[in-house]
Chain A
C-alpha cells in the first residue's frame, strides 16, 4: 500500500539503533504522526500514552513499542463505538452527502450507487447541487452509466425542492436507497450551511426519519482544517459518518484519527480512485496496518 510508504520507511529507519523510547524517539514518532496529518493534539496524546505504557516495563524491544503504538491508535479510534449503517425498514433510506468543494461527493454518490446495486438494492440519485456549473450533468452521466434514475431540478433552482421531488419519487417507485448529492460548501459560509440545515428538515418532512444518514465526504489530502469541517458540518447536519476519498494518492488521511478522537465520527468508506468501483469499506486494522506497514518486518 503506497499510502503508507513514507511513514513505514520512516519508522523503519527508527528501528535501527533503537534505544528505548527516548526523547529523540518520541520526537521522531511525533514527526511521523504529524506528517500523516494526525495533528498535534492527537499526536501528542499518542506519544504521551506510549511513554506511559513503556514506562511500566524495564525493557522493551522495538517490536513491543510498535505493538503498543498500534494498540494506542486503535484504542483512540475505538474509544467511541461506531454505529453500524442501519437501513430504513419502512421505506427508502435517504443518504445525504455533504462536504467542502471538490472533496468527491458526486463521484462517491456514483460509487455508493454501484455498491448498493451489487447488494441487490434499488437505488436512485438526486442532483441537489443546482449551483456548480455542470454538476447536474455530472451526476446524470453517472446515473445513466449505472442505470439508475436521477432526479434533477433546474440549474440555480432551490436544492430543497429537488430533494422533495427526489423523496417523492423514491416513495412512489419503492426505491431502497436515495443518494442525495449536494453542492460543495466551505463550512464557514453561514448561508450555505443554513441551506443545508433546511435541506435536512425538508427531507424529514417527506420521509420519516430522513435523512437516515448524513455522510461527510472528506478529501484525504486535507490538513488540520478537516477538524473544523467535521465539527461545523456535524453541528449543522448531524453528520453520522465520514467517507475518506482520494486514498489512492500519497496522503495518509491522518486527520480522520483526530476527528474520531475529538468528535467521535466514524469512517465508513474509503475512496480509492475515480471510477465507480473504487470504493472500499473502511477497515481500521488495514488503515492502521498501512501506517505501521514496514515496521513489522523489522521486528
Chain B
C-alpha cells in the first residue's frame, strides 16, 4: 500500500484556503483531519492521536507562516516537531549500577522479540561496553525457549543459566542471580516468557521476579507492526511493573510504527534500543526524528522543510 505523504494530503486539503498567510482555527481543522488520518494509518492509537492534535492545534493557530513555507508545510513542521518531542530523548542507555551487578529484565507479549533482543543487547554490552554479562533463561513455557537463548548466548559469548523446564521461572531467577554473583558477572539479563497483559497469573509471576531481582531496567519489547491494542498492553505492563525502557523490534520491516508513539505516551519511558533484523548485531539506538519521519510516511520532504 503506498501511503500518500502527509504533505501531499495537506496540500490538497489546503487548496481551497490558500492565499491566507495565517493558520486560523478554521483552516486548521481541515488540515488536522488529514494529520489525523495519516497518524491512524500509521497505527498511532486513536486516543493518542486525539490528544496530539489538540497540542498541534494550540501550537499552530495564530502562527505567522514563514515566507518560504506554505501553510501545509508549516503544519507538517509543527506536527513533526511535536512528534519528535513526544517520542522522547535519543540514545538513552541502560541504567548501569555504579558498582555491583546490574540487572536487566525483558518483558512483553509473545513473539515480540524478547529473547532475540537479550542476545543483541548482550552482544552490544560485550563489544561496546566491555562487560561480562550472564543470561538467565526464565522462559520455561515456550518449547525450546531455553535452547534458543543458549544458542544465542553461545554465539555472543555469554553464559546462560538455566534450571530446565521443571523449575519455575521465579526460582530459576533466584538461583541464577546467586550464580551470577559467584561467577563475577557485572550485568545479568533475564529472558522471560511472552505473556498476555490480561494473564493475571503470568503477570504476577513477573512482579515476583521483579521483587527478587530488583532490576535496574525493565525493558518492554514492542513489535513495530502492532496496531491499536498496544495501548492496553503498555498500560497493563507499566501498571504492574513500572517499566523503565522500551525496545522496539522489527523496525527493519515496512511498518509505519505508530504504536511506538502510543507506548511512549502511555509509559513516558525512553526507547532504549531498536531492533533492525534477526542477527545479533542488528540493534541500534533510537532516533526520534527518524521515527517521526517514518510515522508520517515522509522521507525527503522533511529535509526540504528543514532547509526552508
Chain A residues with a Cβ under 8 A of chain B? 2, 6, 31, 34-37, 39-40, 100-104, 131-135, 137-138, 140-142, 145, 186-189, 219, 221-228, 231, 246, 248-252, 254-255, 274
CA distance A219 to B229 in the complex (A): 12
Given A34-B228, A223-B227, A252-B229, A188 and B197 touching (CB < 8 A)?
Answer: no
- CB-CB nearest in chain A for B198: A250
- CB-CB nearest in chain A for B47: A35
Binds A, one of B17-25, B54-62, B204-212, B249-257: B249-257
Please name all residues of chain B whose beta carbon is closer than 8 Å to the beta carbon of A35 when the two chains form the complex. Answer: 45-46, 228
| A75 → B minimal CB distance (Å) | 23
**Size range of the chain B interface in the assembly:** 35 or more
In the complex the two chains form, is B250's CB within 8 Å of A255's CB?
A: no
Task: Check B78 for interface membership: any CB of A closer than 8 A.
Answer: no
Given A101-B111, A102-B110, A221-B227, A34 and B46 touching (CB < 8 A)?
Answer: yes
In the complex the two chains form, is B143's CB within 8 Å of A225's CB?
A: no
In the complex the two chains form, is A141's CB within 8 Å of B143's CB?
A: yes
Please name all residues of chain A whose beta carbon is closer than 8 Å to the beta carbon of B232 when the two chains form the complex. Answer: 6, 250
Please name all residues of chain B whose beta carbon is closer than 8 Å to the beta carbon of A186 when the two chains form the complex. Answer: 250, 252-254
- 19 additional A-B pairs beyond A248-B196, A249-B198, beta carbons within 8 Å, are A36-B228, A37-B227, A100-B253, A101-B113, A103-B111, A131-B278, A133-B149, A133-B151, A133-B155, A134-B150, A137-B147, A142-B143, A188-B253, A188-B254, A221-B226, A221-B229, A223-B228, A225-B225, A251-B228
Task: Check B94 for interface membership: any CB of A closer than 8 A.
Answer: no
- CB-CB nearest in chain B for A104: B111
In the complex the two chains form, is A251's CB within 8 Å of B144's CB?
A: no
Given A187-B253, A228-B1, A40 and B229 touching (CB < 8 A)?
Answer: no
Chain B residues with a Cβ under 8 A of chain A? 1, 37, 40-43, 45-46, 109-113, 119, 141-145, 147-152, 155, 196-198, 223, 225-230, 232-233, 250, 252-256, 258-259, 278
In the complex the two chains form, is B152's CB within 8 Å of A224's CB?
A: no
In the complex the two chains form, is B110's CB within 8 Å of A246's CB?
A: yes
- CB-CB nearest in chain B for A142: B143
A-B contact count (CB 8 A): 143
Please tell me which one of the listed residues A103, A138, A189 contacts residue B148 in the complex, with CB atoms under 8 A apart.
A138
In the complex the two chains form, is A37's CB within 8 Å of B229's CB?
A: yes
Q: Which of A135, A189, A249 has the most CB of B within 10 A?
A: A249
Please tell me which one of the listed residues B112, B141, B227, B254 contacts residue A187 in the complex, with CB atoms under 8 A apart.
B254
Please tell me which one of the listed residues B119, B229, B278 contacts residue A101 in the complex, with CB atoms under 8 A apart.
B278
Given A221-B226, A225-B256, A137 and B250 touching (CB < 8 A)?
Answer: no
Please name all residues of chain B whose beta carbon is closer than 8 Å to the beta carbon of A226 when the two chains form the complex. Answer: 225, 227
| B255 → A minimal CB distance (Å) | 4
- CB-CB nearest in chain B for A110: B143
| B39 → A minimal CB distance (Å) | 11
| B152 → A minimal CB distance (Å) | 5
Listed by A's residue number, 12 A-B pairs whose Cβ atoms lie within 8 Å are: A35-B46, A37-B228, A133-B151, A138-B142, A141-B144, A189-B252, A222-B226, A224-B1, A249-B198, A250-B197, A250-B198, A250-B229
